[in-house]
Amino acid sequence: KQEVTQIPAALSVPEGENLVLNCSFTDSAIYNLQWFRQDPGKGLTSLLLIQSSQREQTSGRLNASLDKSSGRSTLYIAASQPGDSATYLCAVKDDSWGKLQFGAGTQVVVTP
Amino acid sequence: GAGVSQSPRYKVAKRGQDVALRCDPISGHVSLFWYQQALGQGPEFLTYFQNEAQLDKSGLPSDRFFAERPEGSVSTLKIQRTQQEDSAVYLCASSREFDRAQFSNQPQHFGDGTRLSIL
């Protein structure tokens, strides 16, 4: 059974610092890995999707890497801003129907 | 609308009552998913529809949970005889992917969820 783990559970950094969020999964037979952002009381916003054949994806200040063989993904957020404060979740798709298996998330606070 | 719409946003019910949660997916999206998110946890899969067909209901926690999507668009998640442990946020997501063989990598788009509190 696939297990997805995110460490740390919470992270606080001063504005301007780079953020590094980690995600690990136990079964490397995945179709893709997705990073989401969740603000309090809101749903999930998709940030980046990395296909199993890719090693990284970039969007603006965000960069996500994927090492399928070791079961790891890392989300980098450059030059953090207070508006980046949110919970970040990673999810793997290891089922061809599409259901996602989520980690518990990393709660990020960026202080001005 | 542009996104996935869920209603109501908040629902309070007494233990033992039945509740119905509605999801309006993005127009044209074939796949629809329901997830349950407990406080401080990631979402957990409940059930999956491809058009009107419910292809996977392996995540439904008990036979008190029932979902339908009769015309392949709007979906309803119904919980009968609610219990306190049913209190959670229920999220709906839709995506365009529809072909199992395509290994499609369309992202899932989530609604804001329904926060269900059982007293």
pLDDT surpasses 60 at B65:
yes
Q: Which residues of B touch A99 (CB under 8 A)?
A: 33, 45, 48, 56, 59
Task: Tell me the pLDDT tens digit for each residue of B8-56.
Answer: 999 999 999 999 999 999 998 999 999 999 998 999 999 999 999 999 9
Gap between the Cα atoms of B38 and B17, Å rounded: 20
C-alpha torsion sign, points A68, A73, A78, A84: positive
> What secondary structure does DSSP assign to B9-62, as a single string?
SEEEE-TT--EEEEEE--TT--EEEEEEE-TTS--EEEEEEETTEEEE-TT--S
pLDDT surpasses 70 at B103:
no
Gap between the Cα atoms of B45 and A71, Å rounded: 21
Q: Which residues of B touch A102 (CB under 8 A)?
A: 42-44
Query: CB-side exposure of A40: number of CA atoms within 13 Å?
Result: 5
pLDDT surpasses 90 at B96:
no
Q: Residue A97: pLDDT band by 50, 70, 90 thresholds?
A: confident
Task: Tell me the pLDDT tens digit for each residue of A2-12.
Answer: 999 999 999 99
pLDDT surpasses 70 at B104:
no
Among chain B residues, the shortest Cα distance to A41 is held by B112
pLDDT surpasses 80 at B1:
no
Task: Tell me the pLDDT tens digit for each residue of A3-55.
Answer: 999 999 999 999 999 999 999 999 998 989 999 999 988 889 999 999 888 99
Q: Which residues of B touch A98 (CB under 8 A)?
A: 31, 33, 48, 95, 97, 104, 108
According to the model, what pLDDT value does residue B27 have?
93
According to the model, what pLDDT value does residue A20 have?
96
Q: In whole numbers, what is the pLDDT of chain B averaged over residues?
A: 92
Q: Which of A75, A55, A84, A70 is nearest to A6 (CA)?
A: A75
Q: Strand locations in A3-112, DSSP E?
A: 4-7, 10-14, 19-25, 32-38, 44-51, 56-59, 62-67, 72-77, 86-93, 100-102, 106-111
pLDDT surpasses 90 at A96:
no
C-alpha torsion sign, points B91, B96, B100, B103: negative
